[in-house]
Amino acid sequence: MLSVENINAELNTKFLARKIIYLPETSSTNTEAWKYIEDKTMNGSLIITDYQTSGKGRRKNAWSSFPGKSLTFSIILFAKDYSSKLSIFPLLTGISIVNGILSSIYIQTGLKWPNDIMLSRKKMGGILIESKLLDNNPVTVIGIGLNINEQIVNFPNSIKNHATSLSIYSKKQFNRERILAEILNEFEVMLYKDTDEIITLWEKNCIHNNSCVSFHSENKKYNGIFQGIGEDGYARIKINENIKKFSSGLITL
């Protein structure tokens, strides 16, 4: 079982996760987080569970998690103060996860555009960012799911070939609170970095930068060379000598 005390012991943030709502079981931490959006004192709060029973993924997919093995959590941000960064929240979140895992357990993970955390070319985590306007101000819920101590038998058959966990990769068990706290410590630092720096860091950690990729967007499939991220946060893909920009899509490596 996750311990809020152990999370606090490793946190060195000023405002992030200074309020923690721990739920032994819930349908989705993102859904839970939206219940608090009228309460401005919840800025930076963390909602976390040991067992997410109906997790939401991107593109209307489900996110499955095995009880007590993973990290499934959401951060509430009243994003007015960071509105210039809204479009790069997925990038900023991805780098915080990669850096947090590296500094806590010395495993190098990588990023796949737009929102995947990768380990030996398999998916070990994902990010679901949901935003709404409340009285004309953006409110954002950043949902993160990370496979930490799962074994292959804990994954549903449908994802067994494409998913991995830190434990499957290293054959070790990890302290989830320590990894979480390091990710949150990194996240708060990233919030104050310039967009240029975040983009450069993201590209450095991307596992397919300057490589050939297959790309699906709006029911079309393209083959091209991934050429990093523009200032607007859009992916740049070179297709037949022309650079095309995409705000969303799905990359196959």
The minimum distance between CB 167 and ligand BTN, in angstroms, equals 18
The minimum distance between CB 136 and ligand BTN, in angstroms, equals 26
- Cβ-based nearer residue to ligand BTN, 45 or 52: 52
Lay out the site mask for ligand BTN across 41-60 (x = CB under 6 A, - = otherwise). -----------x--xxxx--
The minimum distance between CB 151 and ligand BTN, in angstroms, equals 19
Tokens of 30: 């993102």
Residue 164 touches ligand BTN, criterion: CB under 6 A: no
20 touches 48 (CB < 8 A): yes
Among 128, 168, 199, 237, binds ligand BTN (CB under 6 A): 128
The CB-nearest residue to ligand BTN is 126
The Cα–Cα gap between 9 and 215 comes to: 43
- Cβ-based nearer residue to ligand BTN, 144 or 198: 144
The Cα–Cα gap between 18 and 188 comes to: 12
The minimum distance between CB 238 and ligand BTN, in angstroms, equals 26
Query: Helices in 88-233 by DSSP H: which ranges?
Result: 89-105, 166-170, 176-191, 195-205
Residue 145 touches ligand BTN, criterion: CB under 6 A: yes
The minimum distance between CB 92 and ligand BTN, in angstroms, equals 16
The minimum distance between CB 118 and ligand BTN, in angstroms, equals 11
| Chain centre distance of CA 73 | 10
The Cα–Cα gap between 180 and 73 comes to: 9
Residue 74 touches ligand BTN, criterion: CB under 6 A: yes
The Cα–Cα gap between 218 and 206 comes to: 23
Residue 144 touches ligand BTN, criterion: CB under 6 A: yes
111 touches 126 (CB < 8 A): no
Would you list the DSSP string of 196-247? HHHHHHHHHHBTTTTSEEEEEETTEEEEEEEEEE-TTS-EEEEETTEEEEES
Binding site for ligand BTN (CB under 6 A): 28-30, 52, 55-58, 61, 63, 72-74, 115-116, 126-128, 143-145
